[in-house]
Structure 1
Amino acid sequence: MTTWSQFTQEAPSIAALFLRRHQATGNLCMLGTVRADGSPRISPIEPMIFDGMLVLAGMPDTRKFDDLARDPRFCLHTATVDTKVTDGDAKLFGTVTDITDESVHRRFAQKLFDDSGFDIREEKFDHFFVADLTGASTVEVADDHLDITVWKPGAGERVIRKD
């Protein structure tokens, strides 16, 4: 399992661009999952970094979490409306594990309350998905070309230049 902490060590430039874009949109990303019929689903999500993990949690009883419970594969894409991608763009790929440890849930709910005032401290989590990253990429626009940075676990970052 490649946790967020391990990912940031192996792919620091991709992690930095992801965080920059994630914060620029108020933490909004787009989550790609697989529907029961095999077709793709795109859903908004506000992932959080917590205890060295990338957490994909949110409103209970949503189809995206049904998808992940059935098929743990996902793609997480930083949200953008900039067709020229001047601030860059990042995608993370992987699978999720549903963490059932209620002490983790309580710590997460407390951190969320401390950071935002949003209070789910007394709520029971249907799912608490944590990402196991299997790949990532970014696109950055340079003066006269694109730099595409890709990462796979254990392989480090590799930049591909597109003229």
Structure 2
Amino acid sequence: MASNWAAFAAAEPDLAKTVEQRFGAFRHHVLATLRKDGSPRTTGLEVRFLNGELWLGMMQGSLKALDLRRDPRFALQANPGPDTGTGDGDVRIGGRAIEVTDPEVKGAYVKEVEPPQQFHLFRTELTEVVRTYVEDDTYLVAEVWKPGEPVRTLKRT
């Protein structure tokens, strides 16, 4: 089961807001895809939250785009910034990236963002959202959301 950003945000608005803030704090993030041989590839990426979707845009013919065309599974890590142990913590999103080729949808995206003239655009279907942070300088806390389930909170010392 997968979910788009709007469905996740409706189900878990507080966590969604925190995740958007973490991604909004920096321009570049880390995308993990699978190469043809199945090994992981990590690359930098800009993301956008627009019209209830989490969008992944990338240069035409980029290796990460070709990876996603072949195998749509991805993991997306928000840029941790200079100090990952405090503040809103660390966030990551797992899911599937679905390429968008509809000219109207791409045109609407272009009105909001200034991508290269030719680019790949993927909308995402989420399979997991995770926030990890330190609480009271004592506990490592992980909030884990999966479609159709409430957020699970795990704590350990």
Question: How high is the TM-score relative to the length of structure 2?
Answer: 0.90
Letter of the structure 2 residue corresponding to residue 129 of structure 1: F
- CA shift for structure 1 position 40: 0.2
- CA shift for structure 1 position 128: 1.6
Q: Structure 2: how far apart are the matches of 1:156 and 1:47?
A: 25
RMSD value, Cα: 1.6
- CA shift for structure 1 position 12: 2.5
SS, match of residue 13 in structure 1: helix
Q: State yes or no: 1:145 paired with 2:146.
A: no
Q: Structure 2: how far apart are the matches of 1:124 and 1:42?
A: 22
- Consecutive unaligned residues of structure 2, counting only runs of 5 or more, are none
Map of 2:75 onto structure 1: 75
Q: Structure 2: how far apart are the matches of 1:161 and 1:70?
A: 37
Q: How many residues align?
A: 154
- In structure 2, which of residues 95, 119, 122 is the aligned counterpart of residue 129 of structure 1? 122
Map of 1:101 onto structure 2: 102
- Consecutive unaligned residues of structure 1, counting only runs of 5 or more, are 113-117
Q: Structure 1: how far apart are the matches of 2:8 and 2:91?
A: 14
Report which of the two has the higher share of strand: 2
SS, match of residue 112 in structure 2: helix
% same residue? 32
- Cα deviation, 1:101-131, whole Å, max 9, x if unaligned, reads 100111110111xxxxx365xx344x22110
SS, match of residue 156 in structure 1: coil
Q: State yes or no: 1:154 paired with 2:148.
A: yes
Map of 2:38 onto structure 1: 38
Q: Structure 2: how far apart are the matches of 1:29 and 1:85?
A: 17
Map of 2:4 onto structure 1: 3
- CA shift for structure 1 position 99: 1.5
Q: Structure 2: how far apart are the matches of 1:45 and 1:23?
A: 13
Q: State yes or no: 1:58 paired with 2:58.
A: yes
1:59/1:14 CA distance change after superposition, 3 Å: same
Instruction: Indicate conservation of the 8 Å contact 1:29/1:44, yes or no.
Output: yes
Letter of the structure 2 residue corresponding to residue 136 of structure 1: V
Question: How high is the TM-score relative to the length of structure 1?
Answer: 0.87
Instruction: Indicate conservation of the 8 Å contact 1:10/1:157, yes or no.
Output: no
- Cα deviation, 1:1-59, whole Å, max 9, x if unaligned, reads 41110011223333222212111113x21101000111001111111112211111122
Q: Structure 2: how far apart are the matches of 1:153 and 1:84?
A: 26
Q: Structure 1: how far apart are the matches of 2:118 and 2:56?
A: 15
Q: State yes or no: 1:15 paired with 2:16.
A: yes
Q: Structure 1: how far apart are the matches of 2:61 and 2:118?
A: 12
Q: Structure 2: how far apart are the matches of 1:46 and 1:24?
A: 12
- CA shift for structure 1 position 84: 4.6
